[in-house]
A and B are shown apart, each in its own frame.
Chain A
């Protein structure tokens, strides 16, 4: 059991600076370049990265706006795209209980939660003393958010300096990153929902472009839910 705060800092820095920081830097470079190419301001790219803090929701915001959806549907779409944060937060927050502050600080800390910090916490927390887990989470999350912020800015500013082929490659990185990150989820019903959603999304986009993603989510998600009920799975990771 690790009880030394300095040791916790070192582990958090080492865990975050490798793979998570590089992945976030790369994916947010793609995101920043997309925001620029969509004709939207840098401030919006930065606010979306730090405020939404999840590539799927950020891409939903930019893509639905670019598609001309009204603000109400864009916001509803982003909210639905991020619904997976609910089960994530419910299962994760109790793993790092606060000693005195009560719940107030939880409402701040939960903003840093992402699939990276979720996975890192689940893996490391068993080795870390209860009262130091928040420290690990904050150090890890701050480094991840910084990498995401730097990537967003590099992508936004850098895409203009690139040859056209590479600029388009950076934008193409968005759907590919997005698909590969989600394909890595070890939860068969979620993957089924993803696969059902793909053709439905194309169909509804052609038929009812204003409601395409919402209908895709509700119909595809319900279908996947129904299938999941018939073939129950043990694994419930989000």
Chain B
């Protein structure tokens, strides 16, 4: 991790906030004047989703930071358990997340699989 000044972090966060607000503000400007099902909007939405799919995969398979201490097998299994519970048991978000995270913690605990420390 690089050491960045608080000022740099503040600017970075402000930029991220403005970059997000850009879409919200444009949405208000264009509201009811354009068709939200139009081709450009669809493309932009798909770009978001593809990017987020890539980010999820990277966070699970090639994490940066603390999750590097855990094994790929445990992360993948717990992720699969959570998503499967969600898809099979009535698409309820909270139980699925709790079961997925619970199985992750249990697997780390019982395998003693922390790589460092």
Contact = CB atoms under 8 A, between A and B. Distances in A.
B73 interface: no
A82 B23 contact: yes
A98 to B, nearest CB: 11
A179 B75 CA distance: 13
Contacts of A53: 20
Chain B contact-residue range equals 35 or more
Given A52-B16, A106-B28, A217 B101 contact: no
Contacts of B69: 168
The A interface, classified by DSSP as helix, strand, loop or mixed, is: helix
Contact of B104 (A41, A94, A164, A172): A172
B51 A214 contact: yes
Contacts of B87: 183
Given A90-B41, A93-B27, A194-B50, A63 B59 contact: yes
A140 to B, nearest CB: 17
25 contacts: A23-B93, A26-B94, A43-B10, A56-B48, A57-B16, A66-B1, A78-B15, A78-B20, A93-B31, A110-B28, A164-B114, A167-B66, A168-B69, A168-B108, A169-B104, A180-B93, A184-B91, A189-B42, A194-B56, A197-B51, A201-B56, A216-B51, A217-B47, A219-B50, A220-B54
